[in-house]
């Protein structure tokens, strides 16, 4: 038994160190997240096995931009993470799709929508999302290989009126 433990010792220490480094990187800088569902199609196909890189430096001062794809904790189910496009920032006025409503986004909140609005459950359903629920910004698709690339920032035209215009 002592011989087995002695043989494993050189491998255990680097594994523990590597795990601690990985946890620190994921917590502070970036991590990979699986993408599920069709709400962000065509940005993501939503097929099983699709992964995106999420950077976390934007969380320090809530440094998000209109058009960013973001990951946040669902306001309806705090155990699940959601991927949507950030459409409006605090203080912006937004025209809600399929309605004549124009709403101002409250301070400390943002408006998110899926790229595939016909199947997306988003701010049109649960309202503005608190910035405190944000977990990061999606920057790249990293898997599968044929989809590897940067995630573009897109803003719907004519629906968002930034706060400074009023």
Active-site positions read 39, 84
Structure tokens at 107: 């301070």
How far apart CA 75 and CA 81 sit, in angstroms, is: 9
The answer to whether 54 and 33 have CB atoms below 8 angstroms apart is: yes
The half-sphere exposure of 50 on its side-chain side, counting CA atoms within 13 A, is: 21
Structure tokens at 144: 């599968």
Q: How far apart are the first and last CA of the chain?
A: 75
């Amino acid at each position: 038994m002592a011989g087995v433990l002695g043989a494993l010792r050189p491998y255990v220490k680097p594994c523990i160190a590597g795990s601690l480094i990985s946890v620190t990187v994921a917590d502070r800088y970036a991590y990979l997240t699986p993408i599920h569902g069709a709400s962000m199609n065509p940005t993501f196909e939503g097929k099983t096995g699709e992964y995106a890189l999420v950077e976390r430096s934007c969380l320090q001062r809530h440094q998000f931009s209109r058009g960013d794809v973001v990951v946040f904790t669902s306001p309806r189910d705090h155990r699940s993470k959601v991927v949507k496009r950030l459409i409006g920032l605090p203080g912006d006025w937004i025209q809600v799709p399929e309605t004549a409503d124009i709403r101002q986004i409250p301070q400390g909140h943002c408006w998110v929508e899926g790229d595939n609005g016909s199947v997306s459950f988003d701010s049109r359903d649960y309202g503005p999302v608190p910035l405190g629920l944000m977990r990061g910004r999606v920057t790249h698709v990293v898997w599968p290989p044929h989809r590897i690339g940067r995630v573009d920032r897109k803003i719907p035209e004519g629906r968002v009126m930034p706060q400074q215009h009023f």
